[in-house]
Amino acid sequence: KILRDIEAIYSRWAWYQKSGEYHLLNCSRLIVPRNLPAPVVLDATAKQQILWSLLEDRAEIISTPAGVRSYKNVRLHVTTAKGVGKTSAKEAMPLRLPRILSNLERYQQKPSKVLLITHKSVEHLAMNYKPDLEEYHVAHWGAVDGRNDWRHCNKAVITTLPYRGATYGYNMFFALQGLQDTEWFKNPIWKDILNVRDFIESKQIATDVIQGINRIACR
């Protein structure tokens, strides 16, 4: 596997980054052939997903027709907290989980069927609890998109955020727009977006969160 990865990097461009104590060589490519007959992609999060915009004239975005299901019956409860990344969650979640589950038990207005989404590294902690709820399910980022396993649940609890890191935004951009020069890293502008790397990352987080919420009966 290591030799295969080295060969893949040497066969095309790569860019270097130091992340903590690690030295990284990154490369990316679009695996969908350019001459592929145009597929139809049904993407419930297309408005948040910058992928389609980066494809430019290779993608035609169709507006959502009138009369489709909406989110008007959804109520969002949002709080701000530190320690929602993968590394920080290991320290924060043992203290945070009891409070989250206690509030769910205390304020449920109807039988609660809960899907709790967190990072894989702390999923086992959440699964150890047996809260006083009608149903309690736990899932982790990377294993929720598009699944219907929890379509009967009526509450989704997002406990962490799936940050992808700086390399994700750059690699996404290069795969779709081509490799940029060294100066571009200092000022990663694309069209009217002043920092396209951060923009890609924030859009991807929004996409992942919406995908998580969509796993329950919310529309």
Residue 103 in contact with residue 79, Cβ under 8 Å? no
**pLDDT computed for residue 94 by the predictor:** 93
In the structure encoding, which two tokens stand for residue 150, read together?
Answer: 């929890």
Q: For 144-188, how does the pLDDT look when each residue is reduced to its tens digit (9 = 90+)?
A: 988 999 999 999 999 999 998 889 999 999 999 999 999 999 999
pTM of the model: 0.86
Using a 10 angstrom Cβ sphere, with 0-12 exposed, 13-18 middle and 19 or more buried, the burial of residue 164 is middle
Q: Is pLDDT above 90 for 189? A: yes
Q: For 78-132, how does the pLDDT look when each residue is reduced to its tens digit (9 = 90+)?
A: 988 888 998 899 999 999 999 999 999 988 777 899 999 999 999 999 999 999 9
161 — phi, psi (to 5°)? -115, 135
Name residue, tokens 């039988």: 111
Please give the mean pLDDT across all residues of the chain: 90
